[in-house]
Structure 1
Amino acid sequence: MAAIHAPRIAIEAVQPSLDHGRFAAKASVDEPVTVSAVIFADGHDVLAAAVCWHDDLGQQQRVPMQLVKPLGRDLWEARFTPRRIGRHGFIIEAWWDLYGTYRHELAKKHQAGVPVELELEEGRRLVVAAAERSEGELKAALEARLDRFASLDGDDTRVALLLDEETLQLMQAADERPHLTRSDAHYPLDVERLAARFASWYELFPRSETDHPSRHGTFDDVRKRLPAIRDMGFDVLYFPPIHPIGRTHRKGPNNTLTAGPDDPGSPYAIGSHEGGTRRFTPSSAAASRFVSWSPTPPTTAWRSRWTSPSNARRTTPGSPSTPAGSPGVPTARSATPRTRPRSTRTSSTSTSMPRTRCRHCGWRCATWCRAGSTKA
């Protein structure tokens, strides 16, 4: 019974897609998107297919698909060009092309010199049926074709009319699409600006942009470097976290475990009494100066927020080494910001951990910041 209700047409290997439409593929605005699929059916009937796509506003369009040469691989393709940035999507439709099948057989028989009186009558009836189910201009155009067919003498001229490209387009517009089959998934497509397709990123530590070892670099110092970074061919300037750095368990120069009062610490160990991800490092200069030359502040992920308790207790990666005579950029570890979400989850090493919850990070964090912990 399942075979009886199964579709006669198969649509497979749809591209572009990720995990059969579970995730969105990528595209660039104002650039063509090539959609392909393997489409086949039982029998020898000619098939037709189309890509039905929509933009982020829900406006729908249909693009006919064509068989890819060389033939025999059942591979179909179509192209469309998105004009907007946002989430698009598409599905694929396929159906039996009755007039395409008739047109293919008529051309072969006529070329072979086989009498085609019955085929001509069959074609006339197909056009009559299409005109009866059509309306408006399409109906009038099909009726005009029938009048012209009746006025022609000789099989050659009638065959030429039925094989004419204009007749094919009219019949395709009036096609009732028998055995219509749609792809079993909707394929999302994220259309982005061209700059999102490729960019060269340059990472820079603002505090290292200084002309003297005793002075912390500022955003004004970074601004002076922008022309040189641009001339090297970079498109994006990337900052490590520029937020206040924690002091608990801060490391000193050369990865030492003891930090002096003036050691800056690791920019990745953020979160202190001065603030978290909503604050700038005080010595980097005022936020207003940063916003003055940057349209939007860069987004930095909360390192401590997305790591597990076991990972959070490990030494955080430090920053790249700096030349001699420049301010040190040592690795450091600090308490995580107070805004970190609390959790009752315990790690695999919970047997050796105290039943306490740190007032800084909200986790049962053992020796990392036990000095500031309170009873759970």
Structure 2
Amino acid sequence: MDGRIAIEDVRPAVGGGAFPAKAVTGEPVSVRATVWHEGHAALGAEVVLRGPSGPPRTVPLRLADPGLDRWAATVVADAPGPWTFQVVAWRDPWATWTAGLRAKLDAGLTGLDNELEEGARLLDRAAGPAGDGTERPGTPVGRGRLLRSAAAALRRAGRPPAARAEAALSGSVQAAMAEAAPRELVTHGPVRRLRVDRPRARYGSWYEFFPRSTGGRRADGTPVHGTLRTAVRELPRIAAMGFDVVYLPPVHPIGTVHRKGRDNALTAAPGDVGSPWAVGSADGGHDAVHPDLGTVEDFVHFVERARAHGLEVALDLALQCAPDHPWVTEHPEWFSHRPDGSIAYAENPPKKYQDIYPLDFDNAPESLYAEILRIVRLWIDRGVRIFRVDNPHTKPAAFWSRLIDEIGREFPDVFFLAEAFTRPAVLKGLARRGFAQSYTYFTWRETKRELTEYLEELVADGDFLRPNFFVNTPDILPVHLQTGGPGAFAVRAALAATLSPSWGVYAGYELYEGEPLRATGNCEEYAHSEKYELRPRDWAAARAAGRSLEPWLTLLNSVRRAHPALQQLRTLRFHATDNDALIAYSKTDPATGDTVLCVVGLTPDAPEKGTVTLDAEGPRLPDGPVTDAVTGERLILTRRFSVGTDPLSTPARILTWSRK
């Protein structure tokens, strides 16, 4: 900061300004700062917004809280890429003079010749010498004449002070001086960074599936290995459910050395397909497509067909290698070696991953970085604009900062999702370093208190952390889905889809797949895990039998698309209920006024009833009826109302209205 005026506590500021805050194009960003100066002189302030191209823009700051000297403005970035903002403040002699003169005139004081001359000189400074062309471009041509005329009136001796000041205090002169008034002691605050992504980085519905499980079955019931071409047949169904993003596990060749068998068996049987996360074999590495899935051309075709259905493709970026990955022999320096010379495989004690070698980012960091950068660019060239990163917390934070910044400058529409099921400091640290979205601990938050406290924490971190609430993953089958029956699946989907702007499901969720590998010890591994075997599914038969959650997922995604309020996180507010098995919360879209109030029953196997009391500072009630997006019912909403849910018919009540 330079200058005499104090500019403090500028926000948003992530890590004290060490990291950029986050926004998406078109999203209002609230800039706040404490601005003060000795004495009682009036101040002015503005925020200067600079984007990746084009001239800077200025937005006036207003004094939002005079008692705390807190100023605020809303800025909007209109293009993805790196942005900066900076608060500039100054002493405003004209506003100071105007306030002082009005006070003296109101008090009936006389003998104000000095005060009136001070005002005339300020007007002269703003007007510039007559005929010198100093008027700013785009301002009224007569502004200089208007200000000089007001200055002359102030100097007109022999008239009462109020009459002499009348022109200077007029609305037209005040408006002109708002543009042209002199600025004194101009002070520049710290430059803060803003990482701006496209809207999909904040809002979207994700669907994860394995292309290799789309080949169907032979006459004897044995699965047929699917391809990227057979996977295209899944796209219409996924799009019809209202999903926006199709996420694919790694599509690369899978290692054969130490390949895992079914249910993570140490020894693979003949025909076992192995884990896609054991990347690399004699068929190629991270730049190749598994030959059983097809070719690079087939992958590009899949991306194009997805796009035709309104879907984006997110690809898994799994920076690890199978023992027979080409890098192991071509670049042994990229791996950690044990004292006996062998390469250390991955471990997360007591778990062991003998089929995976982690990369060592310290032995030869520059060459490894260059190769990973090449890989990411290669898949971008093949149509990928979203990368879901496997275990980013096992790679250096500085590596991610560098990679994400470089890719962001070159491809502003590309973003990364962190699968960071790890310690809170690490999860948040990765978000600060550029990950646009993060998996979260939502999967393990079940009670009203747990959900409320965790979501309030996420809202507080909203300047840099964007959640993606996956209800399940190939690695995580939460205990509540193992024991809660269909109601648990419906309730968890309702919570994820309405609490978080981004949410996701892993295929099989709509079929209520919940059988654990072991029924004891809080095991979260699926039996017959798709990580190690093919799992073709008969979606049509499930629908025909009435055992499919597809209609509920479709409704949720439809409501999310129709209501911008559900695409927000910062406006989330919880409301009191007299039944802890009911949770109530609202969201409002600042731009449109669209408002959604959700009440979800947390009991998976029984209806719940209770009374909701809306927070006094919560959403403004509409003049007319609201609509329940689940039942279609129209009702008059009051600050206190009774409501009921049923996990099998109405797992949630989603009341919608607009305040504008």
For the superposition of Structure 1 and Structure 2, which TM-score range results when normalised by the shorter chain?
0.7 to 0.9
Residue in structure 2 matched with residue 236 of structure 1 by the alignment: 245
Task: Find 1:77's aligned residue among 69, 72, 80.
Answer: 72
Task: Find 2:42's aligned residue among 42, 46, 61.
Answer: 46
Q: Partners of 1:58 and 1:132 in 2: how far apart?
A: 30
1:182 paired to 2:188: yes
1:284 Cα deviation after fit: 1.4
Residue in structure 1 matched with residue 100 of structure 2 by the alignment: 105
1:151 Cα deviation after fit: 7.0
1:235 Cα deviation after fit: 1.3
Q: Partners of 1:48 and 1:301 in 2: how far apart?
A: 48
Residue in structure 2 matched with residue 207 of structure 1 by the alignment: 212
Residue in structure 2 matched with residue 130 of structure 1 by the alignment: 126
Q: Partners of 2:331 and 2:111 in 1: how far apart?
A: 79
Verify the 8 A CA contact 1:131 1:143 in the aligned structure 2.
yes
Task: Find 1:280's aligned residue among 259, 275, 289.
Answer: 289
What is the SS of the residue equivalent to 1:182?
strand
Summarize the Cα distance change of 1:107–1:72 in structure 2 as closer, same or farther, 3 Å threshold: same
Summarize the Cα distance change of 1:6–1:209 in structure 2 as closer, same or farther, 3 Å threshold: closer
Q: Partners of 2:282 and 2:253 in 1: how far apart?
A: 8
Amino-acid identity (%): 33
Residue in structure 1 matched with residue 87 of structure 2 by the alignment: 92
1:114 paired to 2:109: yes
Verify the 8 A CA contact 1:250 1:258 in the aligned structure 2.
yes
Q: Partners of 2:191 and 2:332 in 1: how far apart?
A: 38
1:243 Cα deviation after fit: 0.6
1:338 paired to 2:333: no
Q: Partners of 1:262 and 1:345 in 2: how far apart?
A: 29
What is the SS of the residue equivalent to 1:343?
helix
Summarize the Cα distance change of 1:200–1:259 in structure 2 as closer, same or farther, 3 Å threshold: same
Q: Structure 1: where are the runs of 5+ without partners?
A: 306-332, 362-366, 370-376
Q: Partners of 1:161 and 1:93 in 2: how far apart?
A: 30
Summarize the Cα distance change of 1:111–1:342 in structure 2 as closer, same or farther, 3 Å threshold: farther
Tell me the amino acid that sits aligned with residue 91 of structure 2.
Answer: W
Residue in structure 2 matched with residue 57 of structure 1 by the alignment: 53
294-303 vs 246-255, greater mean Cα deviation: 294-303
Q: Partners of 1:168 and 1:146 in 2: how far apart?
A: 13
Summarize the Cα distance change of 1:6–1:218 in structure 2 as closer, same or farther, 3 Å threshold: closer
1:156 Cα deviation after fit: 3.2
1:75 Cα deviation after fit: 0.9
What is the SS of the residue equivalent to 1:57?
coil
Give the number of aligned pairs: 326
Verify the 8 A CA contact 1:49 1:93 in the aligned structure 2.
yes
Cα RMSD (Å) = 3.2
TM-score, scaled relative to structure 2: 0.45
133-142 vs 97-106, greater mean Cα deviation: 133-142
Verify the 8 A CA contact 2:282 2:325 in the aligned structure 1.
no
Q: Which has the higher contact order (CA 8 A, sep 6+)?
A: 1
Q: Partners of 2:293 and 2:215 in 1: how far apart?
A: 11
Summarize the Cα distance change of 1:222–1:188 in structure 2 as closer, same or farther, 3 Å threshold: same
Q: Structure 2: where are the runs of 5+ without partners?
A: 136-140, 305-311, 347-352, 356-660
1:147 Cα deviation after fit: 4.3
1:338 Cα deviation after fit: 1.6
Tell me the alpha carbon deviations over residues 27-52 of structure 1, each in whole angstroms, 9 at most, x when there is no partner: 22233332111111221111111111
Tell me the amino acid that sits aligned with residue 112 of structure 1.
Answer: A
Summarize the Cα distance change of 1:357–1:238 in structure 2 as closer, same or farther, 3 Å threshold: closer
1:187 Cα deviation after fit: 1.2
1:290 Cα deviation after fit: 2.6
1:300 paired to 2:289: no
Q: Partners of 1:299 and 1:229 in 2: how far apart?
A: 16
Residue in structure 1 matched with residue 19 of structure 2 by the alignment: 23
1:110 Cα deviation after fit: 2.0
1:203 Cα deviation after fit: 1.1
Residue in structure 2 matched with residue 221 of structure 1 by the alignment: 230
1:149 Cα deviation after fit: 4.9
1:276 Cα deviation after fit: 0.7
